Amino acid sequence: MSYDRCVRCGSCMRFCPLFEAREEEQWTPRAKTYLLQVMDMIEADEELGKEFRRLLFQCAMCGRCEEVCSSDVDLLEIWHEQRAKARKEAPREFQYLDALRRAIANVKNIYGLDPEDRAVFWMDEIEDDVPDIEERVYAPGKRAEVMVFLGCLMSFRASQLDVVRALFKSLERTGTDYLVMGAEEFCCGHPLHLMGDDEGAEELRTHNKSVIEDAGAKYVITCCPGCLIQLRQYHNIQNAEVLHHTQFFDRVLDNPPKYRSETEYPYHDPCELHRISGVKKEPRSLMTKLGVNFREMDLSCCGGGGLLRMTDPDLSEKIMEVRKRKERLESETVLTCCPSCREQFLAAGIDTKDIVEILDEAFEQEELKE
């Protein structure tokens, strides 16, 4: 029981975005491990049990608590385990998640949309820029060095179209031999993992793995840090390296065109990318190579992780509100590299760009110059 290792020092409290948003101790990681440590004293109280189970799902799973913890407490692992336990103990309390689970089980995406739409939703929109895009969609027998795993948000959300376009244009410009999984892409299973349902995610992982391996891909690239976690840590893909798109472009572009702009961009580093997957260097390296004038934002959460947008949308929104105010983001364009973080910023009325959009613009500027 690794929550027993928590010495309740409280160092995690002030870093917790939930505490900052809600201003009471029960939202802090220390409070949750404490509750587990005294659970024997309160478990008879049904209402408290219910409140605790709800509290477990009111967390953005940003992992900052674990990062600052000196007592080696695997806090993220604890939250995962406890979420699974909570769902098992009181399934009725989590019926609101069933629609999502059913959608993933039935149509393999989080939106409950026709799986065929994965391949077509964005295609019409980018055909002018990438005329051969249809040929890039995976079908059995097709092979390529790079497999693009778009993820549900990038596949279905209109708000992500500019990023999708910039991604494919950049892949074309770098002469990459790539395929995109299209309708053969199943949800990576991250939402199920976040609700403690790894069993449910297994079928999805097995399918994705077989497609990627059949295509003989040496690299899988994704723009979504949540998908990155799943593909890297849980898909057990053989003979292919899973990369975030910023890693891929940083690797293939030693000397990208310079991005010409006077704007200073605040850079939001997605928690699931830098903290959970340990990808810190490459997004910054790529921006530096491009000559982007950027400044680091606080390494805190946007409020969009951990399924929080679904389990407590008000709280998710409040976290962003607090950040917006604290970091004075009203009139800024925030650079980031995560579709989920982008959704959060956009919902708060903050302009945002993915790094790959900057890359695309740099290419455009160079072409115009020529």
Partner 1 sequence: MRLRDVVIGANASIFYRLDFSKIKDVFYPHTEEEAEQAIRFARERSLRITVKGGGSGLSGACTGGNDERIVISTLWLNKILRIDPQGGYIDVQPGLTPDLINEALKPYGMKFYVAPSSRDVATVGGILSTDGGGNDTWVNGTMRDNTLRVRMILYDGRKITVTREGVESEDEELAEELNRLRVTLDDVASSHGTLGFVTELRLQIRPLSEESVVGGVAHFDDATQLGQAIHRMIEARSPIKYGEAIVAAHPDVREDLRPPLITLQFPGDYADDLREILDIELLPDEQVDRMKDIRIKLPKRNPKQGIQLALFEGYGLHGRSLLNMQATVDAINELLESHRYTPFAKYGHAPSKWYLGDNTAAYGMVMHSREIRPEHTTREEVLNTILDIVDLCEKLGVTPKPEHKWPFSDTVKLNRLREIRRVVGGGFNDFLLRDDYREVLRSMV
Q: Check residue 65 for interaction with partner 1 (CB under 8 A).
A: no
**What contacts 258, CB < 8 A, 6 or more positions away?**
290, 291, 362, 365, 366
- Residue placing its CB nearer to partner 1 in the complex, 69 or 144: 69
CA nearest to 227, candidates 210, 213, 208: 208
Q: Is 112 in the site for partner 1 (CB under 8 A)?
A: no
Can you tell me which of 16, 31, 133, 179 binds partner 1, judged by CB under 8 A?
31
* Helix spans in 327-354 (H): 339-347
Check binding of 52 to partner 1 (CB under 8 A).
yes
Distances (CA, A) of 83 to 77, 89, 163, 197: 10, 10, 33, 9
Residue 60: CB atoms within 10 A of its CB come to: 28
Query: CB 84: neighbour CB atoms within 10 A?
Result: 17
- Asked if residue 180 binds partner 1 (CB under 8 A), the reply is no
Q: Which stretch binds partner 1 (CB under 8 A): 48-56, 110-118, 202-210, 340-348?
A: 48-56
Instruction: Give the number of residues written for the chain.
Output: 370
Q: Which is nearer to partner 1, 244 or 323 (CB)?
A: 323
| Residue 139 within binding range of partner 1, rule CB under 8 A | no
User: Judged by CB under 8 A, which stretch of 68-76, 87-95, 150-158, 224-232 contacts partner 1?
Assistant: 68-76
56, 61, 64, 72: which one binds partner 1 (CB under 8 A) = 72
Q: At what angle do helices 225-233 and 198-214 cross, to 10 degrees?
A: 80
- Residue 310 interacts with partner 1 (CB under 8 A): yes or no: no
Q: Does 43 bind partner 1 (CB under 8 A)?
A: no
Q: Which long-range contacts (CB under 8 A, 24 or more apart) does 112-120 make?
A: 113/156, 115/183, 115/186, 116/183, 117/155, 117/156, 118/150, 118/155, 118/156, 118/181, 118/182, 118/183, 118/185, 119/180, 119/182, 119/183
- Looking at 48, 183, 252, 310, which residue binds partner 1 (CB under 8 A)? 48
25 binds partner 1 (CB under 8 A): yes
Please tell me whether residue 120 binds partner 1 under the rule CB under 8 A. Answer: no
In the complex, minimum distance from the CB of residue 35 to partner 1, in angstroms, rounded to a whole number: 6
Based on the shown chain and the rule CB under 8 A, indicate whether residue 21 belongs to the binding site for partner 1. no
DSSP secondary structure letters along 101-114: HHHHHHHSSTT---
Residue 46 lies near partner 1 (rule: CB under 8 A): no
Contact indicator for 357, 163 with CB cutoff of 8 Å: yes
Among 17, 30, 176, 243, binds partner 1 (CB under 8 A): 30
Contact set with partner 1 (CB under 8 A) = 4-5, 7-11, 13-14, 23-26, 28, 30-31, 34-35, 37-38, 41-42, 45, 47-48, 51-52, 55, 69-72
